[in-house]
Amino acid sequence: MANILSTEKQAVVIGALAEGNSIRSIERMTGVHRDTVMRLGVRVGEGCARVLDEKMRGLDCKRVEVDEIWGFIGKKQKNASREDRRAGLGDVWTFLSIDPETKLMPNFVVGQRDRYHTIAFMEDLAKRLKNRIQLSSDAMAAYPDAVELAFGTEVDYGQIVKQYASPTGEDARRYSPAEVVAIRKERINGDPKYDLVCTSYIERANLTARTHCKRLARLTLAFSKKLENFKAAIGLHLGYYNLVKTHSTVRCTPAMAAGVESSAWTVTDLINAA
């Protein structure tokens, strides 16, 4: 592929993918065939996941927020048969983390919203940190056990518990989240500071992911047909987000703010590293 597309053309394609353009729109803008766009995106996305795995080590984070974001492969769970699910089709969840101070997103795990993948996500997060943190999450039942297995007693962990109104009438058919009627904070482990128990930053990061990663955009035809392609798309998004994209609040890339990198990468740097 590198012999077919120039470095400049590859950078244009990857930059467009990372900014949320669809494969067919990139084909129309660049003249690069959609199959080539797909293969390049998967190759660079898988490489980004490896680069992030190597670089996100020994992080000096003080606070981390975690959450999970929904997507699907091929078809939604309600439309997937047993054979479809065995083939990897249906709902898929991406676990994400963020440091609210540097805006760094240290790790991700793609899988199901179950105990197994929650533990895998927390154990992966724990091994990337070098000091005790304050951790915040929503009230998903699998989190407390996963945090205890991954961190033991070396964490200050609190949950945001939200109570939602039951939709009725027209609201039950509307494509929108239910109304939040009450919020409370609960201490789970250690001694978390209650005013810092929060999931606002990771929820905003979820919106960024849906905006910049076309595979996560709702109500489109851009969903992945293969799990491997979906994971590569998440890897590309986080590689671009952490290493290339300047965050307005820290006025540099998250990797620079966290001391992982000394300067911002270009898209070409990302491609070469991947």
pLDDT tens, position by position, 127-160: 999 999 999 999 999 999 999 999 999 999 999 9
pTM of the full structure: 0.91
The least confident of 170-174, 203-207, 211-215, 226-230 is 170-174
Q: How confident is the model at residue 1, as a pLDDT?
A: 45
pLDDT tens-digit series, residues 165-179: 876 655 555 566 677
Domains in the chain with CATH codes: 7-273 (3.30.420.10)
If you average pLDDT over every residue of the chain, what do you get? Answer: 92
pLDDT tens-digit series, residues 191-206: 999 999 999 999 999 9
According to the 3-state scheme, what is the secondary structure of the chain? CCCCCCHHHHHHHHHHHHCCCCHHHHHHHHCCCHHHHHHHHHHHHHHHHHHHHHHCCCECCCEEEEEEEEEEECCCHHHCCHHHHHCCCEEEEEEEEECCCCCCCCCEEEECCCHHHHHHHHHHHHCCECCCCEEEECCCCCHHHHHHHHHCCCCEEEEEEEEECCCCCHHHHCCCCCCEEEEEEEEEECCCCHHHCCCHHHHHHHHHHHHHCHHHCCCCCCCECCHHHHHHHHHHHHHHHHHCCCECCCCECHHHHCCCCCCCCCHHHHHHHC
